[in-house]
Structure 1
Amino acid sequence: MRPNNYYLAAFSAFFIWGFFSLALKPLHNYPSLDILFYRVFFSVALMVLINVVFRRNIMLQNWDHFKTMTAKQKQSVIMLTLGGGVFLSSNWFVFIYVMNHVSVKAASLAYMICPILTTILAFFILKEKLSKWQWFAVMISTFSCVLLSLNHFEDIFYSLITAATYAMYLVSQRKNSELDKFLVLTIQLVFTAIILLPFYPNYSGDLPTESLFYSCLLVIVVFFTIIPLFLNLYALKGINSSAVGIMIYINPILGFLLAIFYYHEHVSTLQLFSYFLIMISIIVFNEKLIFSRKSKSISTEIEGLK
């Protein structure tokens, strides 16, 4: 499988997530915990059904593979899988709260900070190497996030929590490569559902009766949970965490554009400049991929003229 396919998977995942507010905002009158409960429970039901009906052989193959692992390998797979579930569910709850009760811009800011944290964590934990150009891109991103946080301390507080949980999820799942990615995601969501289930009776609101809630939730589960998460985990099979992390910027840029043109949130010149710097940092971080493809294209053209 060519590396470009993994980049395409990462790009597609964060492009899809960029439009998450369109399905989430209509549910702003519902408590954040309720949205989290039903998102997790519905996702688990659908994913378990898919695995049992269409992927039974893959489940058996992965179980056989798991049984052949050493005790240390089994412990690692279990810890990474269940730990990933905790990071993921934490990220979902904070993101839902910020999106519906703080602002779309604050939610976007979280995913501005996330690539920086992911890159730094991957460097220290996974020992992933970065070129000088990539470190320069991180510096540009950091500077732009500092500009975005000026006079918005509440935003930066929630954004840091949201960013840290997803950065830890990405880094941990980069090392979790022994089992099928869709199966891993299913196990993580089942584990999350088990954690949330005892809290449901006491912390959930009245059972939603409006069709709007269930139609939006169906869209969230299929198009903003299962599909992009699978693409995200698939991308981690072929490219490193920092490369996937930098793709996260696609999400907040789209969210920022929606905040301006769809939700009509106020945006300053400084914020516009900061987002422009983010776009520059994406190009700089991926300069090797962009310019190597360009060079290859030019070489092909030259060969064709001979």
Structure 2
Amino acid sequence: MTPAMPSDKDATHGVLFGLGAYLMWGCFPLFFALFEGTPAWEILIHRVLWSCVFLAGLIVLLRRWQPVIGALRRPQRLGRVLACALLIGLNWGIYIYAVETRHVLQASLGYFLTPLVNVALGMLVLKERMSRWQALAVGLAAIAIAVQLILLGQLPWITLVLALSFGTYGLLRKQVPLDGLSGLFVETLLLLPLALLALGWLSAEGASHFLQGDPRTTLLLIASGVFTALPLMAFAGAARRLRLATLGFLMYLNPTMQFFIALLVFHEPLSPIQLATFVLIWIGLAVYSCSAWQGRPQSRGA
């Protein structure tokens, strides 16, 4: 049976949800820049803790405990979920570090690179066939990274860790039979014991910024959980209403916003070599996007 296409109203709502999700993600550098003097790993601890609390409240409100309980009753199947949790935790931590150290351009490049990493992982891990246009796009991305390594003499590790961690997270997440809300809650729940242990150690050492310093910082740490969950909820609403091709185009809004925030707000330097790197990856994304768009089903809807 052919799946029903979304109505014009559903498609419009889907685009609005998608824009909301990617606009919120695009503004994350401005939010995490507010944590002046708080170490990235302490922010990560609270992001896990308060995300878990907020998501638990949402699951109670929406009465969505059944998939969560079903997943927790099968601990032998939680291996992939734990791997997803560790990968998303790594991604969150490195991203916060990138904002704190004013390497938002590298973070932006990492998220521009993610779709091409997904293509490469699909070929290497899932043995998917790569079209010649996809191969060209991935090749341009590889050249871009090589340009930075050879001409700048440094490996853009923040870019690579963000792209590889999020790309691998997406690969594993597709193999987990949980919806977005339930899946993220189980992931944060698995990370919660580590977060509580780390928070306890910080408090015992008198090094915690939570309830022991500026009240503004305490409120920001709690808010980090809410700001983590809100765009994910909007994204889930968009994913239910839009085709993947449409969602993929909206995705570029996030790293584009981060790119301009890095330049215009944080005044990060952009050398000609770094600009050439971005241009190569942008060309690769254009080739990849055109290939994906041409291969889409010719049907009505967004």
TM-score w.r.t. structure 1 length? Answer: 0.76
* Distance of 2:70 and 2:223 partners within structure 1: 34
Give the SS at the match of 1:199: helix
- CA change 1:148–1:258 in 2 (3 A) is farther
Matched, 1:212 2:211: no
* Distance of 2:252 and 2:56 partners within structure 1: 31
Alpha carbons 1:253, 1:275 under 8 Å: kept = no
Equivalences for residues 274-293 of structure 1 within 5 A: 274-291=277-294
Structure with more of its chain in helix, by fraction: 1
- Give structure 2 stretches of 5+ with no counterpart: none
| 1:63-88 Cα deviation digits (max 9, x unpaired) | 46987xxx8xx734x22222211111
Equivalences for residues 31-70 of structure 1 within 5 A: 31-52=39-60, 54-56=61-63, 58-60=64-66, 63=69
- Give structure 1 stretches of 5+ with no counterpart: 298-306
- CA change 1:290–1:26 in 2 (3 A) is same
Aligned length: 285
Superposed displacement of residue 112, structure 1? 4.0
Alpha carbons 1:109, 1:148 under 8 Å: kept = no
Give the SS at the match of 2:208: coil
Alpha carbons 1:36, 1:92 under 8 Å: kept = yes
* Distance of 2:120 and 2:249 partners within structure 1: 11
* Distance of 1:175 and 1:244 partners within structure 2: 20
Superposed displacement of residue 211, structure 1? 4.1
* Distance of 2:71 and 2:31 partners within structure 1: 39
* Distance of 2:235 and 2:280 partners within structure 1: 24
* Distance of 1:247 and 1:124 partners within structure 2: 26
Alpha carbons 2:50, 2:226 under 8 Å: kept = no
Pick one of 254, 259, 271 that aligns with 1:256.
259
Pick one of 18, 35, 40 that aligns with 2:26.
18
- CA change 1:160–1:278 in 2 (3 A) is closer
1:184 matched to which residue of 2? Answer: 183
TM-score w.r.t. structure 2 length? Answer: 0.76
Give the SS at the match of 1:26: coil
| 1:220-239 Cα deviation digits (max 9, x unpaired) | 4333x213334567778897
| 1:159-191 Cα deviation digits (max 9, x unpaired) | 323332222211100111x23321111011111
- CA change 1:235–1:139 in 2 (3 A) is farther
Alpha carbons 1:85, 1:191 under 8 Å: kept = yes
Alpha carbons 1:110, 1:163 under 8 Å: kept = yes
Percent of matched pairs sharing the same residue: 24
* Distance of 1:200 and 1:160 partners within structure 2: 29
Matched, 1:82 2:86: no
- CA change 1:215–1:40 in 2 (3 A) is same
Residue type of the partner of 1:100? E
* Distance of 1:118 and 1:246 partners within structure 2: 15
1:301 matched to which residue of 2? Answer: none
Alpha carbons 2:82, 2:190 under 8 Å: kept = yes
* Distance of 2:142 and 2:18 partners within structure 1: 21
Residue type of the partner of 1:206? S
Give the SS at the match of 2:44: helix
Alpha carbons 1:10, 1:247 under 8 Å: kept = yes
Alpha carbons 1:62, 1:180 under 8 Å: kept = no
Residue type of the partner of 2:282? M
* Distance of 1:234 and 1:128 partners within structure 2: 28
* Distance of 2:128 and 2:235 partners within structure 1: 18
* Distance of 1:142 and 1:64 partners within structure 2: 41
* Distance of 1:215 and 1:66 partners within structure 2: 31
- CA RMSD in angstroms comes to 3.8
